[in-house]
């Protein structure tokens, strides 16, 4: 199947290209970027002698002539405008931005006015472990945020056993690639190196995304308190969920049961690290409790499971392929 990648200059665009080059079914026929017509090797010198394709200025009609599905790695707001056009042309869309992730109200409260009210309600949230059936029939998929992916995969199996009146805390640590390529004081090497700090504590836009999905999947309301950090690594994400159980239950069994059929969730017997998942689509999870105090610990590659490889998994499901077709499983360790 022919596919297009719209937005190729960022980290997630590059990861999409790298996965799709070797995918046994998907065939890249169109790459677009706001830089206009240059060779993709100029955007990403690491692709020299690997792929040779000219980048276009994005045009929905042109996409529809050469591709059946498009991955959108565009900024918020830009994305919904272009997705709308593509859907009108009959092109399936996997959108990596936040534009279709939330219910309309939540979106407009935390982002801006929505420009594609026609399609937002039909978007399927692309967390395969919880939305697989819907994904198989989707024409528009909202690829989850990186933090919500790791947080929800850790938290959802335990929601029924957690005290509803006590706050849930999520302490999350992300590699700097999660902040994107744009230049900022907070991505300067000398700021990040030998440092660590929280940012937007209890105020990050992924907090309502997690709350909403817990409510939609489990029909329960919780106070989710989310504190993200930047750590001095390029990629990888570690999430620690802290909650209070109703009773002193067997948390390992609950976790094993929840993911016994999941190809891309691995249950670990020791605390997870980010190196074992970096480079792959796996989410590793470890759980432990002390009395009623619950600690769930998950790890993903923020650019892959948190963005590009999960997008390709979603595309696989939308197109009737095996979930794991062409999806990276081999970590970059060491």
Positions in 203-232 near a copy of itself (CB under 8 A): 223, 225, 227, 229, 231-232
Q: Which of 184, 219, 247, 260 binds a copy of itself (CB under 8 A)?
A: 184
Q: How far is the CB of 187 from a copy of itself (least distance, A)?
A: 5
Q: Is 24 in the site for a copy of itself (CB under 8 A)?
A: no
Is residue 240 within 8 Å of residue 278, measured between CB atoms? no
Q: Is 194 in the site for a copy of itself (CB under 8 A)?
A: yes
**3-class secondary structure for 43-61?**
HCHHHCCCCCCECECCCHH
The Cα–Cα gap between 327 and 16 comes to 11
190 is catalytic: no
Examine residue 334 and say whether the peptide bond preceding it is cis (omega within 30 degrees of 0): yes
Please calculate the CA angle 237-14-126 and round it to the nearest 5 degrees: 55
Q: Is 9 in the site for a copy of itself (CB under 8 A)?
A: no
Count residues binding a copy of itself (CB under 8 A).
Answer: 78
Site stretch for a copy of itself (CB under 8 A), options 1-9, 66-74, 177-185, 309-317? 177-185
Residues within window 248-307 making contact with a copy of itself, judged by CB under 8 A:
263, 266, 268, 271-276, 278-279, 282, 288-293, 295, 297, 303
Q: Which of 176, 304, 311, 317 binds a copy of itself (CB under 8 A)?
A: 176
Q: Is 104 in the site for a copy of itself (CB under 8 A)?
A: no
The first and second tokens of residue 135, run together, are: 């994904």
Q: Is 185 in the site for a copy of itself (CB under 8 A)?
A: yes
Q: Which is nearer to a copy of itself, 125 or 279 (CB)?
A: 279
Please calculate the CA angle 180-206-332 and round it to the nearest 5 degrees: 50
Is residue 286 within 8 Å of residue 238, measured between CB atoms? no
The Cα–Cα gap between 322 and 333 comes to 26
Q: Is 23 in the site for a copy of itself (CB under 8 A)?
A: no
Is residue 279 within 8 Å of residue 332, measured between CB atoms? yes
Q: Is 18 in the site for a copy of itself (CB under 8 A)?
A: yes
Indicate which residues carry an active-site annotation. Answer: 146
């Amino acid at each position: 199947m022919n596919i297009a990648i719209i937005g190729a200059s960022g980290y997630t665009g590059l990861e999409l290209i790298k996965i799709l080059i070797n995918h046994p079914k998907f065939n890249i026929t169109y790459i677009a970027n706001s830089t206009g017509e240059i060779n993709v090797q100029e955007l990403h010198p690491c692709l020299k002698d690997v792929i040779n394709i000219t980048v276009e200025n994005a045009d929905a009609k042109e996409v529809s002539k050469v591709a059946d599905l498009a991955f959108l790695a565009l900024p918020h707001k830009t994305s919904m405008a272009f997705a709308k056009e593509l859907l009108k042309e009959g092109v399936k869309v996997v959108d990596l931005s936040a534009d279709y992730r939330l219910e309309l109200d939540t979106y407009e409260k935390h982002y801006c006015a929505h420009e594609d009210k026609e399609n937002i309600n039909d978007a399927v949230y692309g967390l395969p472990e919880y939305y697989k059936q819907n994904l198989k029939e989707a024409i528009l998929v909202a690829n989850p945020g990186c933090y919500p992916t790791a947080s929800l995969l850790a938290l959802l199996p335990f929601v029924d056993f957690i005290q509803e009146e006590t706050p849930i805390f999520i302490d999350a640590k992300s590699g700097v690639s999660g902040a994107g390529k744009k230049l900022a004081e907070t991505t300067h090497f000398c700021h990040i190196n030998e440092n660590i700090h929280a940012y937007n504590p209890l105020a990050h836009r992924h907090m309502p995304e997690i709350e909403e999905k817990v409510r939609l999947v489990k029909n329960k309301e919780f106070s989710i308190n989310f504190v993200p950090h930047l750590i001095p690594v390029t990629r990888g994400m570690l999430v620690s969920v802290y909650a209070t159980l109703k009773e002193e239950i067997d948390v390992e069994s609950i976790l094993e049961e929840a993911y016994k059929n999941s190809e891309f969730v691995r249950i670990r017997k020791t605390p997870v690290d980010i190196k074992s998942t970096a480079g792959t689509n796996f989410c590793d999870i470890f759980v432990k409790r002390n009395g009623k105090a619950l600690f769930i610990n998950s790890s993903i590659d923020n650019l892959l499971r948190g963005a590009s490889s999960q997008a390709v998994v979603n595309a696989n499901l939308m197109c009737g392929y095996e979930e794991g077709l062409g999806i990276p499983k081999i970590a970059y360790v060491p």
